[in-house]
Structure 1
Amino acid sequence: MKTLHLFAGATMLAAAFTLSGCGGSGDEPVSVAPKAEAAQVSQMETRSGAKQPGSKSTRMHPVTGEPLSAEQVLIRGNGSEPGSIDPQLVDDSVGGAIVNDLFEGLTSSGPDGQLTPGVAESWSASEDFKTWTFKLRQNAKWSDGEPVTANDFVYSWRRAVNPEVGSNYAYYMEVAGVANSTAIVNGEKPITDLGVQALDDYTLQVSLEVPVTYLPIMVSHYTTYPSPQRVVEKYKGDWTKPGNIVSNGAYKLKEWSVGEKMVAVRNENYWGNADTIVNEVVYLPIDDTIAEMQRFEAGEMHHTNTVPVSQMERIKKDMNDELISVPKLATYMYQFNLQEKPFDDVRVRKALSYAIDRDIIVKYITKGGQTPAYSITPPEVNGFHYVAPEISKLTQAERDAEAIRLLNEAGYNKDNPLVFDLVYNTSEGHKSIAVAISQMWKEKLGAIVTPTNMEWKTFLTEKAAGNFKVARYGWNGDYNEASTFLTLMLSNSGNNDGKWNNAEFDKLLADARNSTDPAPFYEKAEQILSAEMPVAPIYFYRGLRMVSPQLGGYATNNPLDIAYAKDMYIKAQ
């Protein structure tokens, strides 16, 4: 076995790190609580410590030496109501942020994106990188005091690929190359054939079909987190509700008032509990970015989920020291539904993509340091050789002319306009972008486009069901390697809601997985996407949010935009 010592191995692998979850779908917001409930939350927050007026403390931070607030209650803007907090079912950044606090995988993401140990203390690989062995720490426990064992991971990984569970991230195990995962997802083999086994209570062995050198990075993703079998089987679909849920992370769920707040408290059985400072975490599902900003300015939360684009200039001028711009491997896109005419016509898809003036979007709409995107994969992704598509080298006027030509060729013009709805999830930012792009399509192509917003859960459901023509699409990298973006468009991907499929593209990604130098395969795959345009990339993200000066330990340099509550602390005023 080739032993990768924890920190030496991390150095080799950390350069490839990233997640959402990222895995996740960009800055996804949802519904605001009714006003009466919001007022109640506001009162609770002010009492519990966002402002903490006059709070006294003699306790000091063990590393920085800063005086700590007596009340360690962290109040987080979470953007929306999570669709799920089940590790094997969550598929967006909203739920992912909460799951990252409640659960812990074999590995984690450090403040700068470096690979750090989680439940696993060490790991090693065979010479061919097709067999990985993870040694689990023996003091890892569930919140009910039961030990976390290798069998917990075997159960959850099998659950992730089980067709009866229906995880949108089942394909993640296939991307990781876990033996028999594809056959199991397709219903051709039983889940017990998955290439994962417990050699003993604290040794997990993973067998792969192909060499994967960065598997320790991939197992920091929430799809691979453990789920407590005894609890899942007892409560079934209700196992994540307060009173039922058992988790193995730094926090455990105490309260879930839908549309109002979620509250988590310290898990005293967490192996790293002695190093945790924040005692309670409150998650606020505020999809209205202006309302969220107002709550932040009133001192009712420690950090926002995002920043209202309409107030960016004021914020930069008056509150720039509280504005955090986090490097983020993520892409903002529009997805075309190829099951709906005329979006099965590549000329229509290309015309709409070419007519988007991305420079206007990032300069006048988002205004937060984002950069125009002409590929799905961000250029900064580790090991990815970015080659700018030819269309990106043209002037916008040249792109517009080509868009008009293509749409005319497809039979649409101002006399016979293209008519469709552009769907996005509720957010001031998404609305501003949708309105601007709809206007571009109208002025340049004569298209009649109706921007239509949906509450987050409804948006996810309708999009997954294929009930859209063009929809907003965002992706946070699950890890820092090009496959986390390109596999979105695989024929069997649970995130390929537009149902585009291309056998050559699928083969390129399969070949990349088998190669020690996947970059050439990724380059060709991006060329196919540019030629077929199943999605229209618009810009590469920056993670923007407001962070109170009273909040310490917030990770501002994690390319996965992960900030664990266990690493934060509230300073004394």
Structure 2
Amino acid sequence: MKTAKSLAVCLISAAVLSSFATNSFAADVPAGVKLAAVQELVRGNGAEPASLDPHKTEGVPESNIIRELLEGLVNQDGDGNLVPGVAESWETKDNKTFVFHLRKNAKWSNGDPVTAHDFEYSFKRAVDPKTAAPYSWFLEMTTMVNAADIIDGKKPASELAVTALDDYTLEIKLEQALPYFVAMTSHTTLKPVHRATVEEFGDKWTLPEHFVGNGAYKVAEWVVNEKIVMERNEHYWDNAHTVINKVTYLPIENQVTDMNRFLAGEIDMTYEMANEHFKRMQKEQPESLKVTPYLCSYYYGFNNKKAPFDDVRVRKALSYAIDRDAVAKYIVGKGELPAYNFAHQKVAGLHFDTPEYATWTQKERNAKAAELLAEVGYGKDKPLEFTLLYNTSENHKKIAIAVASMWKKTLGVKVNLENQEWKTFLDNRRNGNYDVTRAGWCGDYNEASTFLSLMQSNNGNNDQFYNSPKYDGFMNAAMAAVDDAVRADNYRQAEAQLAQDMPLAPIYHYVNARLVKPTVGGYPMNNAEDKIYSKDLYIIAE
């Protein structure tokens, strides 16, 4: 998942997946807690969402909002464990054919029942090339039967092996056994949409006056670049256990502004922390500062199809010259880990060989970087000049200035910094209108493929345009492997190939830090995908 910031679920065995009893997993207010009379929540969200259509989005700001408005087959609890969503139980005998049993009391916000046919329609819509879903590749990664051929235009979307056996039974067939498939269904792209509404209003179905969702909340107001206001969906199947009545999302790109509005009492939960104020907030607002695990990687991507970045020596030179320890410790400084590989170091079951350059001192890396750039013909008499693109954010700006300074001091490189608002940034990156770009990737599930599949040549989010038959081979072998050890070894070789080809420069692996009012109860401290459902929260009386 692309992050506007400067999403991990627990893998569950087939035996555990076989059945979940219907239960209440919404806001669990501890005994003795006095609730505030006004149950309203205001959240900073980093950027104006590009869309509220789950099949038209690819970023974290959008997913945060869609999670409130639409509910998929499964959800997550505060620890990242799978819990029932629209599906109250599911089973599989071989990890290839999955049957989901939908709850009969799930309804859309207009009162229509939510059925298996809604999910069949929605999954086929997501994979249909006519939809142009930026995350259609995710369905291919699930290995749903015929997904790849449909995306390539070789088969119609109707051939996707997703079938409503009846109104409340959904069958999904995969080409390969994936023990973590159910975890993947919590992803934004696999949320359902209301067919009649989509077909009646087209791209305008997401406007507040048209929007029909099946989540705990519904859109009440949307003022572009100002706020999105939601109110409770009285038709939501578990509405009786929802406590928060109103949720407002604010698209605040500047972290200092976000913090100041929090300190002024205007916001209950910021999107993230301004890096330079982290230590001050540790001292002044310790009861409000929340630091949690976050399965995301921060990196700079090179446009591999554009000269001179099509030369691996240029890519390696720029990567080596980034002092990751300095960035992690002094620029962000919230406990982030310097990164010399792509997949987050804490992803479940990941094993990778430490790249040789990671064992060198920074002085040695700088010397090798200068040597490589000189081989290509760049130096003091002919400095390399390019533009570094990043989305509008003070945190990203500070990192960009620091790295540009490192490149100039070490290599004499001239870097032009360009920032763009989120939607424009995504469009230009996707279309290859950049030299070097800031990027972040958050895991859609807790398994190495959620990161490493991004660099496959057939991945729609491979904005670096990296194309390596060797890398694709390792990833294809990993996905086809039945044995966990074989799969892990192929992931290891894939990471080694990335270090050799350097299509991107890993910089650090995230933690998540934000300010949350102590009066916000139920805040999840152990969900490494940072999936926060407002329906699980509540406001405590002061």
Could you state the TM-score of these two structures normalised by the residue count of structure 2?
Answer: 0.94
Distance in 2 (CA, whole Å) between partners of 1:494 and 1:437 is 28
Using a 3 Å threshold, how does the CA distance of structure 1 residues 425 and 64 change in structure 2: closer, same or farther? farther
- How many angstroms does 1:321 deviate by? 2.2
Contact 1:312–1:368 (Cα < 8 Å) also in 2: yes
Contact 2:457–2:465 (Cα < 8 Å) also in 1: yes
SS in 1 for 2:419: strand
Residue in structure 2 matched with residue 420 of structure 1 by the alignment = 386
Residue in structure 2 matched with residue 69 of structure 1 by the alignment = 36
Using a 3 Å threshold, how does the CA distance of structure 1 residues 499 and 508 change in structure 2: closer, same or farther? same
1:350 to 307, 316, 319: 316
Equivalent positions of 1:386-397 (< 5 A) are 386-397=352-363
- How many angstroms does 1:387 deviate by? 2.6
Residue in structure 2 matched with residue 104 of structure 1 by the alignment = 71
Matched, 1:463 2:429: yes
Residue in structure 1 matched with residue 49 of structure 2 by the alignment = 82
- How many angstroms does 1:352 deviate by? 0.3
Matched, 1:199 2:165: yes
Which residue type is aligned with residue 239 of structure 1?
A: W
Distance in 2 (CA, whole Å) between partners of 1:548 and 1:63 is 18
Which residue type is aligned with residue 392 of structure 1?
A: A
RMSD: 1.5
Residue in structure 2 matched with residue 558 of structure 1 by the alignment = 527
Distance in 2 (CA, whole Å) between partners of 1:3 and 1:462 is 41
Matched, 1:541 2:510: yes
1:231 to 183, 192, 197: 197
Residue in structure 2 matched with residue 494 of structure 1 by the alignment = 460
Distance in 1 (CA, whole Å) between partners of 2:467 and 2:29 is 54
Deviation string 1:456-497 (CA, Å, 9 cap, x unpaired) is 111111111110000000011000000000011111111111
- How many angstroms does 1:455 deviate by? 1.0
Residue in structure 2 matched with residue 50 of structure 1 by the alignment = none
Contact 1:3–1:125 (Cα < 8 Å) also in 2: no
Using a 3 Å threshold, how does the CA distance of structure 1 residues 276 and 388 change in structure 2: closer, same or farther? same
Contact 2:116–2:167 (Cα < 8 Å) also in 1: yes
Contact 1:6–1:123 (Cα < 8 Å) also in 2: no
Residue in structure 2 matched with residue 441 of structure 1 by the alignment = 407
Using a 3 Å threshold, how does the CA distance of structure 1 residues 154 and 454 change in structure 2: closer, same or farther? same
Of stretches 502-511 and 559-568 in structure 1, the one that deviates more from structure 2 is 502-511
1:286 to 217, 236, 252: 252
Matched, 1:570 2:539: yes
Distance in 2 (CA, whole Å) between partners of 1:313 and 1:136 is 47
Equivalent positions of 1:85-164 (< 5 A) are 85-127=52-94, 129-164=95-130
SS in 1 for 2:98: strand
Equivalent positions of 1:356-367 (< 5 A) are 356-367=322-333
Equivalent positions of 1:282-431 (< 5 A) are 282-431=248-397
SS in 2 for 1:283: strand
Matched, 1:522 2:488: no
Distance in 1 (CA, whole Å) between partners of 2:18 and 2:159 is 33
Contact 1:221–1:478 (Cα < 8 Å) also in 2: yes
SS in 2 for 1:167: coil
Which residue type is aligned with residue 79 of structure 1?
A: G
SS in 1 for 2:206: coil
Contact 2:74–2:82 (Cα < 8 Å) also in 1: yes
Distance in 1 (CA, whole Å) between partners of 2:30 and 2:280 is 35
Distance in 1 (CA, whole Å) between partners of 2:258 and 2:180 is 38
Distance in 2 (CA, whole Å) between partners of 1:88 and 1:62 is 34
Distance in 1 (CA, whole Å) between partners of 2:28 and 2:366 is 57
SS in 2 for 1:362: helix
Of stretches 295-304 and 62-71 in structure 1, the one that deviates more from structure 2 is 62-71
Which residue type is aligned with residue 434 of structure 1?
A: A
Which residue type is aligned with residue 192 of structure 2?
A: P
Which residue type is aligned with residue 371 of structure 2?
A: R
- How many angstroms does 1:82 deviate by? 0.4
- How many angstroms does 1:526 deviate by? 0.5
Contact 1:420–1:449 (Cα < 8 Å) also in 2: yes
2:223 to 248, 252, 257: 257
- How many angstroms does 1:259 deviate by? 1.1
Deviation string 1:302-351 (CA, Å, 9 cap, x unpaired) is 11001111212211221122111110110000000012110000000000
Distance in 1 (CA, whole Å) between partners of 2:365 and 2:90 is 50
SS in 1 for 2:218: strand
Q: Which runs of 5+ in 1 are unaligned?
A: 11-59
- How many angstroms does 1:503 deviate by? 1.2
Which residue type is aligned with residue 104 of structure 1?
A: E
Deviation string 1:193-232 (CA, Å, 9 cap, x unpaired) is 0011011111100011111111110000011111111000
Contact 1:61–1:67 (Cα < 8 Å) also in 2: no
Could you state the TM-score of these two structures normalised by the residue count of structure 1?
Answer: 0.89
2:188 to 222, 227, 233: 222
SS in 1 for 2:287: helix
Which residue type is aligned with residue 178 of structure 2?
A: V
Contact 2:17–2:91 (Cα < 8 Å) also in 1: no
- How many angstroms does 1:61 deviate by? 7.2
Distance in 2 (CA, whole Å) between partners of 1:86 and 1:495 is 18
Distance in 2 (CA, whole Å) between partners of 1:141 and 1:207 is 26
Which residue type is aligned with residue 505 of structure 2?
A: A
Distance in 2 (CA, whole Å) between partners of 1:104 and 1:438 is 42
Contact 2:28–2:522 (Cα < 8 Å) also in 1: no
Residue in structure 2 matched with residue 175 of structure 1 by the alignment = 141
- How many angstroms does 1:62 deviate by? 4.3
Contact 1:111–1:557 (Cα < 8 Å) also in 2: yes
Which residue type is aligned with residue 47 of structure 2?
A: S
SS in 2 for 1:123: strand
Contact 2:305–2:465 (Cα < 8 Å) also in 1: yes
Which residue type is aligned with residue 80 of structure 1?
A: A
Distance in 2 (CA, whole Å) between partners of 1:5 and 1:505 is 33
Distance in 2 (CA, whole Å) between partners of 1:327 and 1:64 is 28
Residue in structure 2 matched with residue 56 of structure 1 by the alignment = none
Identity %: 48
Distance in 1 (CA, whole Å) between partners of 2:28 and 2:399 is 42
SS in 1 for 2:388: strand
Which residue type is aligned with residue 494 of structure 2?
A: A
Matched, 1:245 2:216: no
Distance in 2 (CA, whole Å) between partners of 1:83 and 1:492 is 24
